[in-house]
Chain A
Amino acid sequence: MSQVNRIAGSSKRINRNRTLTFSFNGKEYKGFEGDTVASALLANGVDVVGRSFKYSRPRGIITSDSQEPNAIFQIGSSQATTIPNPRATQTDLYQGLTASSTNGWPNVNFDLMATVGKLGGSMMPPGFYYKTFMFPQSLWMSYEHLIRKGAGLGASPQQSDPDSYDKMHHHCDVMIVGGGPAGLAAALSAAQTGARVIISDEQNEFGGSLLCSTQQIDGQLPSQWVEKTVAQLSDMDNVMLLPRSTVFGYYDHNLVGINERRTDHLGEHQLQSTRQRVHKVRAKQVILATGAHERPLVYGNNDVPGCMLANAVSTYINRYDVVPGNKLVLMTTNDNAYKTAIDWHQAGRQVVTIVDTRKASSGELVNKAKQLGINVIFGHAVIEVKGGKRVKGVDIAPINPENHSVTGAAKHFSCDTVASSGGWSPVIHLSSHTGSRPVWKDEIAGFVPGDTVQQQHSCGGLEGVYALSKVISDGFTTGAVAAQAAGKGEGRYTGQLPKTTDPQEDVSMALFHIPHVKKTSRAPKQFVDYQNDVTAAGIELANREGFESIEHVKRYTALGFGTDQGKLGNINGMAITAKSLGKTIPETGTTIFRPMYTPTTFGALAGADVKHLFDPARFSAMHKWHLDNGAEFEDVGQWKRPWYFPQPGETMQQSLERECLATRNSVGILDASTLGKIDIQGKDAREFLNRVYTNPWSKLGVGKCRYGVMCKEDGMVFDDGVTVCLEENRFIMTTTTGGAAGVLQWLELWHQTEWPELEVYFSTVTDHWSTMTISGPNSRKVLEKICDIDVSNDSFKYMDWRAATVAGVKARIFRISFTGELSFEINVQANFGMHTWKAVMAAGEEFNITPYGTETMHILRAEKGFIIVGQDTDGSVTPQDLDMDWVVGKKKEFSFIGKRSWTRFDNKRDDRKQMVGLKPKDPKFVLPEGAQIVFEKNQSIPMTMVGHVTSSYYSACMGYSFALAVVKGGISRKGESVFLPLSDGTTVEAEICSPVFYDPKGDRQNV
């Protein structure tokens, strides 16, 4: 198909030397570089681009910008590159672009749903969702199925995104949002003070409204002023220009989120470059120069393809050399839109008539149109459009806007395009993001930004200033004022202002909803929000049903719920609500706009933080050895810890049994480097330990280790570990792996906020040490071979620590045990970790030293009844619940953290969940962790649950399965049976027992 609507024209915004081929709904078309998908489709005379959500009506392109509700496409040629729901009006054309309608099933031109009687529409009155939800849910399920299939809301890509994305942080004095006349002027004036300036614009080039304007500046085309200004800005080191960059959010304390589309216009998947980049700009001052959006009028069948916004029509003509039709009817409430008829006429096509809703106007543009011989009808409106897949004609009738009535007979005009303008709405979205309430301004019949706590300025169209000369001077002034507020310049722009002459305009009429001869409820559909098929009648119905708050109307009708977030329809919807409730628009108020301004891809939001960079992975110094030796890894916080070390052909269970037996019978080795380690120094270190641990520390001698439990102030266990007395006033505290950062913060919190008088310092040394635990009856023999001190039981007792040299490296050895076996924890400076580990492995070879991971560690410690905080406890467990009263100091002077809470009523109950052991009746059956426990097997559902399994394993050493659990009053129920109803419907029985299964006297660790 040829570009039937492309006229000769002289626009420099498109490059006629570069023809681009693209496909839409399977058909090939041609456009030019510089086109958007929308301008190219209009050039090719494509009328229907989608089907409406609810009524399945054919829809065409209405706008030329972010307001577009209909031309919402699926773009991309593969399941990896496809993007749901970009607006064709904002998608730059590239060679080979593949697009299809997201709405329309089975296809846009023959829509089954429309044919079978507007299936969705009649079934979906306003409030459909709410009403449906009130009725049986099963009904919703069947509706939902139909809606999803019929409406088609865009499809997610099925393959992973091949593109890369990233983020950048910036700081500046003045951030300018919008690169139209106001924004460019503001940027220039702010930059000339030396301020650091960033200016962004969502379009592919700067200029905003000037790109499609014909109003001369300094006697030249407006685009020439844009070019000159952009060149000036580009030459300045203190200015950063961001075209193709949409400010999607304006956040607290002047943080601006921008998505820069770097390669989208070049084609799919560009290698070696970042497709989109999110810029996070922290600005001292923000200037919003977002301009205004034209507002359509609401009239009968205003959704028939060919009904467009007046300014969009002008944009297609002036910017893209595309006239989207042959015979135009323009309906307007203002002088400004007369430009569209003049542009159309000058493009050589027929203007059937201008319909002006006002009684009269003698503005310059009106006179010019008349001079060109264009017919103008005052006091009338287009009350109804005729046509299906394209406008065929309109009915024009005299109206009385005061009482919303048609006052005379309608007259039919044939045409193929209806352009309408109800005036302009400032683009207040960003100013609303930080919670500022917009304020209605009668003079411009629109909302402008209200009071804000941000360091924010606004200028130009956003303030309802529309005359170009005023927009530009407003920009220059605002730029200087903002720069001064950021500490730069004098607050005045002293340079020459560009000269431009604004046409004299008569007053506009505030009109939103065009009356029809029939009542609104009976009139042809008058669409307010095209994306959700919200009509004037629907809003009035909502009002009649009692929804008066605009927020309720929005949710009841779905007004503003689409991807355009109400850009096109919200003000009209509010005006209709106000009219129907007999209120003013300010009384009705506005809904609040929130980020994103336009939809932003997940890729951009994720940035480079994907795959291996999604979450930092932390490694110990011996990680490479673990990898080389086939370890499977487990995530513990951000750490990658060896989980188990399977040998070729082994199952996980076989590995675990081998590792457990080797440790209990000979010697095993564990990389324990991830445990948190805090160096505590100062004369009050002991006192501090007394206050944060439940057990006493006053008498722990130099050279000794002690296990300690920490509680939160509510008395619940929060961390545990061994603390070592290095010197009289110096300790090393070990914490759980996951608790390391939290414990350090906890200590600092108490020190900094409650007890600053205590002389003590805490420094993390977690990463400084590599820690390897050798455990098992042969561990001493291994250590002896590579260590320079006497490690016999007489001189190096259980719970002692010694400084030594291990494999030639300075080490601290702690004789502590988490397995119940004779164990030594060797700590060396981490740069020597790998060396020492290898030396220990070599020394242990003759004893078949066996590396084990976290899973074997868990089994071995559970056999001993040692808890793991966070697995066996969950923040609701006291030391008493754990039957660990032995770890609670009885004679400590200071009321240490947690103590007072244990005497609270609830914590004294004897039916609290308490830690016990469980022995399944079937010794081979491993209870699922998390399984619920009941006392009575034969209860009706819901059963009374009295506890749950916290840890559960099969013990190769003992030859049976076992578990740790919390059970109500469990400590006094040892020997009793409990039952575990499992998710597969079976119930198993287990016996409550002591949680210490293995070596209950603790002889093995003391040898």
Chain B
Amino acid sequence: MLLIHCPYCEEMREEEEFSPAGQAHIERPLNPEEISDEQWAHYLFFRKNPRGLHHEMWLHAAGCRKYFNVTRNTVTYEIMETYKMGQEPNVTASKEGQS
């Protein structure tokens, strides 16, 4: 069971209060009608499944009802950071590789 920092409530809360909401930073194409079926399918169905750092969305369902982003290590379950919707992660796989 994870302990997750809600960036809106600004404190750590039990995993029970949250629902996972899939991969983060997927943007809806602005011009759905103009892109190919293949491109649309990528947006719809294709998701990363990394071993290691992953950026995912969570919903603070029992708390403030806000969606936010989590950078989590899928192997160790460590949460490196949580950040508000619209913000970019500070910890990324490429950054971590460099350090």
Contact = CB atoms under 8 A, between A and B. Distances in A.
A453 B78 contact: yes
Contacts of A756: 85-86
B85 A252 contact: no
Nearest to B22: A749
B44 A714 contact: yes
B59 A900 contact: no
A435 B73 CA distance: 13
Given A253-B2, A255-B1, A745-B61, A899 B32 contact: yes
A894 to B, nearest CB: 10
B62 to A, nearest CB: 11
Contacts of A754: 27-28
Given A252-B2, A904-B41, A435 B76 contact: yes
Contact of A748 (B41, B44, B67): B67
A253 B77 contact: yes
Contact of B44 (A253, A713, A753): A713
B28 A251 contact: no
A901 interface: yes
Interface string A340-373: 0000000000000000000000000000000000
Contacts of A713: 28, 44
A841 to B, nearest CB: 37
B14 A282 contact: yes
Nearest to B31: A895
Interface in B1-58: 1-3, 14, 19, 21, 27-28, 31-33, 37, 40-41, 44, 57
A616 to B, nearest CB: 13
Interface in A684-717: 713-714
A714 B28 CA distance: 12
Contacts of B28: 713, 754
Contacts of A905: 37
Contact of A752 (B2, B33, B61, B85): B85
Contacts of B31: 895
A253 B3 contact: yes
Greatest chain A CB density within 10 A among B2, B32, B66, B78 is at B32
A895 B32 contact: yes
Interface residues of B, number: 29
B59 to A, nearest CB: 7
B33 A895 contact: yes
Contact of B85 (A282, A435, A453, A753): A753
Interface string A262-294: 000000000000000000101000000000000
Contacts of A435: 75-76
Interface in A445-470: 453
Greatest chain B CB density within 10 A among A252, A282, A453, A899 is at A252
Given A251-B1, A253-B77, A900-B32, A745 B37 contact: no
Nearest to B40: A900
Interface string B73-88: 1011111000001100
B32 A752 contact: no
Given A453-B78, A745-B59, A900 B33 contact: yes
A749 B19 CA distance: 12
Interface string A6-39: 0000000000000000000000000000000000
Interface residues of A, number: 26
Contacts of B75: 435
Nearest to B38: A904
A740 to B, nearest CB: 13
Contacts of B37: 903-905
Nearest to B61: A745
Contacts of B76: 435, 453
Nearest to A751: B67
Contacts of B2: 252-253
Contacts of A251: 1
A148 B9 CA distance: 54
A526 B28 CA distance: 65
Contact of A749 (B14, B41, B67, B77): B67
Interface string A902-918: 01110000000000000
B21 A749 contact: yes
A899 B1 CA distance: 38
A72 B67 CA distance: 50
Nearest to B65: A748
Nearest to A897: B28
Nearest to A282: B3
Nearest to B24: A753
A895 B32 CA distance: 7
B72 to A, nearest CB: 10
Greatest chain B CB density within 10 A among A253, A280, A754, A901 is at A253
Interface in A752-773: 752-754, 756
Contact of A901 (B3, B40, B77, B79): B40
A219 to B, nearest CB: 45
A901 B57 CA distance: 23
B66 A752 contact: yes
Nearest to B1: A255
A953 B1 CA distance: 46
A748 B19 CA distance: 13
Contact of A253 (B1, B21, B65): B1
A493 to B, nearest CB: 28
B26 to A, nearest CB: 9
Nearest to B78: A453
Contacts of B73: 453
Contacts of B32: 895, 899-900
A903 B40 CA distance: 11
A875 to B, nearest CB: 14
A233 to B, nearest CB: 26
Greatest chain A CB density within 10 A among B28, B73, B78 is at B28
A904 B3 contact: no
Nearest to B14: A282
Nearest to A252: B77
Contacts of B79: 253
Interface string A159-188: 000000000010000000000000000000
Contacts of B1: 251-253, 255, 280
Contacts of B27: 754
B40 A753 contact: no
B18 to A, nearest CB: 12
Interface in A710-726: 713-714
A453 B66 CA distance: 28
Contacts of B21: 749
Interface string A238-265: 0000000000000111110000000000
Nearest to B68: A752
A900 B66 CA distance: 27
Contacts of A749: 21, 59, 67
B93 to A, nearest CB: 17
Contact of A904 (B19, B40, B61): B40
Nearest to B19: A745
B24 to A, nearest CB: 9
B91 to A, nearest CB: 14
A753 B57 contact: yes
B5 to A, nearest CB: 11
A253 B16 CA distance: 13
Contacts of A903: 37
A687 to B, nearest CB: 15
B51 to A, nearest CB: 13
14 contacts: A252-B77, A253-B1, A280-B1, A282-B3, A282-B14, A453-B77, A453-B78, A749-B67, A752-B66, A753-B57, A756-B86, A900-B40, A901-B40, A905-B37
Interface of B: 1-3, 14, 19, 21, 27-28, 31-33, 37, 40-41, 44, 57, 59, 61, 65-67, 73, 75-79, 85-86
Interface of A: 169, 251-255, 280, 282, 435, 453, 713-714, 745, 748-749, 752-754, 756, 895, 899-901, 903-905
State the 9 A-B residue pairs at the shortest beta-carbon distance, nearest first.
A900-B32, A253-B3, A453-B76, A895-B32, A252-B77, A752-B67, A255-B1, A453-B78, A253-B2
